[in-house]
Structure 1
Amino acid sequence: MPQPPSFTARAPGDPRPRMLAIDWGTTSLRGVRIDAQGHITERRALPQGILQVAPGGFADAFAQHFGDWLAEDPQLCLLSGMVGSRQGWQEAAYCPCPADFSALCSQLLWLDNPQGVPTAIVPGMSSLAQSQVDAVHGVPDVMRGEEIQVIGALALMGSRDGLLLLPGTHSKWVQAQNSSITGFKTFMTGELFALLAQHSILGKTLDSSAALDEAAFIQGLERAQSADSLSHLLFGTRALSLFGALDPAQSASYLSGLLIGQELRTMPTAAGSRVAVIGSSTLVQRYSLALRHVGCEAVAFGDEATWAGHQAIYDHLTQTTSSTPPSLTPQP
């Protein structure tokens, strides 16, 4: 297995890139090139997720999409996301929580260097030690890709502690304390919404493509605080539409509020709490609205958290004393 190389920070005047930061997920592939000053100089986004890569074809696919960047002799290439899963390039063992930043960096999985560039996969994280896992006493939780966003968001906030929320197909609530990720929980909220909207009776009376109706969304949030079971609350979405209380657009927002409200009920946050919300603008909007409704402050982040997390690892590996997040716009 390739061993981690020794690094020193690339001089700011060096014309070669500092690093390539790659986020390779299930359905998409994104990358940025970061220069010696820490600025993003180019971005690429491709519909080439790990599921679109044939077994054994990751090195060739990577060279096809980023070979010209690799030819510029970057000092480091970091890959995060599902590329480190069993279906990815090579499986990177989960780093168990609680874990600090150094522990995560020490478990980077180094690959055979594509075109001679030191290349590593950032490991995912698990919330339960393997020896404790069984169906009765302990159910594990896992994440891949979100850990780099958490690192980046903390760096951007200049914070060592916080509650971070990463909405998506599988939403993550992550607790950080003293620069360690101490635990997290996953909710299948996005996937449940899609399944219910497309493959259940609820889909007959809602329009999942409609814009957010804030009033209906908040009604769903408030209804989710009921002690009734989720399956009963979900059927209420159909009943309300049958009696004309919700039109199709409102039904979709109400259902979204119900499911997100269940997350808030499970992860209660005290009024006045500050929560970092990291994700796409559409989901950040909904979760931020939900958090504000219960009296919390939502701090929004997008792609910048991912790239700041990659750069934080570079800074750690090169033992630099400062950590300047990559700028959010390409430099001339």
Structure 2
Amino acid sequence: MSGLIALDWGTSSLRAMRMGEDGVILETRRQPWGIRQLPAGGFTAALDAVTQGWPSLARIASGMIGSRSGWREVAYLDLPAGADQLAAALDTRDGLTIVPGLRNARGPDVMRGEETQIVGLMALHEAAADATVLLPGTHSKWVSLRQGSVVDFCTLMTGELFALLREHSILGVGVDASVTAGDGDAFLDGVRQARDSGAAGAFSRLFATRARMLDGALKPASIPDYLSGLLIGEEFRSMQADQRMRSDQPLWLIGDAALCNRYRLAAAEFSIGLAPAVDDTAAAGLWWLARAARLLDVTTPISASGVSS
């Protein structure tokens, strides 16, 4: 039987996908078994449980499972690196293939998991092989691609900073913890404050969040949206100021649809064009890498450029 078991295994969760011989996902299973919260029996028990009843197929995983705290550490590849280099460096032992992460000496900076999403994006959209890609999240990644290779990337801890400011700073005092995002005007106000903050940056405007609330200009319930806008806006302001990423082509977004929509609204305030958002490309990336490494019983040709599906 041909097919693949693809695993997106991160810090807080495990997603297992059984894929058919054509790369279509036949079944998906999710468990809260990230590398920091495993069931009794550890990694092996988690893998056996999440794939129970599935046929014996090649198994490939990406994400923090290959980190120092994961199943086994798989060395980072230094930039520049593309899909072909990743496929050649796959680590196959004990019945599990793990995708290496990438290391950028400029910074320095590292990624694990996002490289597979980028391979999947290029497999699904050939035009993305020369582009800037943004993967929003707890640790947002801005990635520069040239001819199918990652040549630069930068990590911004936007999501983690947002959580820290909301839950553990004076800016969150008086804000109901159950309040969810919903004030679009406050969000855009925050984006514009970051955009117009000049060389000082959005950190020079952070405490004004508190002052605005005390003055009555900002409702306590709107603080999370305002902070979100301020921090996301700072991503765009700092990336434009640094000029590391190309801005002459549409920016590609990969990630949760709701979060990507926030970044789409922010991009408009900076006059940045966007390609259509892509929700999830990890499965496509794992499939491509498995085929390139001949882990699959699939005979259809695959492009040497590393970007064809």
When residues 55 and 109 of structure 1 are mapped into structure 2, their CA distance, relative to the original with a 3 A threshold, is farther
The range that moved more, 263-272 or 198-207, is 263-272
Alpha-carbon distance in structure 2 between the residues aligned to 1:54 and 1:111: 22
Residue aligned with 1:45, SS = strand
Match of 1:64 in 2: 49
- The aligned runs of 1:98-113 (5 Å cut-off) are 98-113=80-95
Residue aligned with 2:217, SS = coil
Alpha-carbon distance in structure 2 between the residues aligned to 1:284 and 1:250: 20
Q: Is the 8 A contact 2:166 2:172 kept in 1?
A: yes
Match of 2:230 in 1: 258
Alpha-carbon distance in structure 2 between the residues aligned to 1:39 and 1:162: 26
1:21 maps to 2:6: yes
Q: Tell me how far 1:311 sits from its aligned partner.
A: 1.2
Alpha-carbon distance in structure 2 between the residues aligned to 1:91 and 1:146: 17
> How many correspondences in the alignment?
292
Residue aligned with 2:173, SS = helix
One-letter amino acid of the structure 2 residue matched with residue 150 of structure 1: I
TM-score normalised per structure 2: 0.88
Match of 2:56 in 1: 73
Match of 2:301 among 310, 316, 321: 321
Match of 1:44 among 29, 34, 37: 29
Match of 1:309 in 2: 285
Match of 2:66 in 1: 84
Q: Is the 8 A contact 1:154 1:161 kept in 2?
A: no
Q: Is the 8 A contact 1:172 1:186 kept in 2?
A: yes
Match of 2:253 in 1: 277
Alpha-carbon distance in structure 1 between the residues aligned to 2:247 and 2:18: 40
One-letter amino acid of the structure 2 residue matched with residue 285 of structure 1: N
Q: Is the 8 A contact 2:194 2:205 kept in 1?
A: yes
Q: Tell me how far 1:322 sits from its aligned partner.
A: 4.4
Gaps of 5+ in 1: 1-15, 114-118, 129-137, 326-332
Root-mean-square deviation over aligned CA pairs: 2.1
Match of 1:219 in 2: 189
Q: Is the 8 A contact 2:192 2:269 kept in 1?
A: no
One-letter amino acid of the structure 1 residue matched with residue 229 of structure 2: G
Alpha-carbon distance in structure 2 between the residues aligned to 1:309 and 1:205: 44
One-letter amino acid of the structure 2 residue matched with residue 57 of structure 1: G
Alpha-carbon distance in structure 2 between the residues aligned to 1:110 and 1:322: 21
TM-score normalised per structure 1: 0.82
When residues 43 and 210 of structure 1 are mapped into structure 2, their CA distance, relative to the original with a 3 A threshold, is same
One-letter amino acid of the structure 1 residue matched with residue 158 of structure 2: T
Residue aligned with 2:18, SS = strand
Q: Tell me how far 1:232 sits from its aligned partner.
A: 2.8
Alpha-carbon distance in structure 2 between the residues aligned to 1:144 and 1:212: 32
Moved over 6 A (4+): 269-272
One-letter amino acid of the structure 2 residue matched with residue 261 of structure 1: G
Q: Tell me how far 1:216 sits from its aligned partner.
A: 1.4
Q: Tell me how far 1:321 sits from its aligned partner.
A: 1.7
Match of 1:236 among 177, 185, 208: 208
One-letter amino acid of the structure 2 residue matched with residue 293 of structure 1: E
Alpha-carbon distance in structure 2 between the residues aligned to 1:78 and 1:250: 43
Residue aligned with 1:297, SS = coil
- Superposed CA offset, 1:269-309 (max 9, x none): 77773111111122111111111232222421112x11111
Match of 2:107 among 105, 122, 139: 139
Q: Tell me how far 1:214 sits from its aligned partner.
A: 1.9
Gaps of 5+ in 2: none
Alpha-carbon distance in structure 2 between the residues aligned to 1:21 and 1:232: 44
When residues 91 and 56 of structure 1 are mapped into structure 2, their CA distance, relative to the original with a 3 A threshold, is farther
Q: Tell me how far 1:45 sits from its aligned partner.
A: 1.0
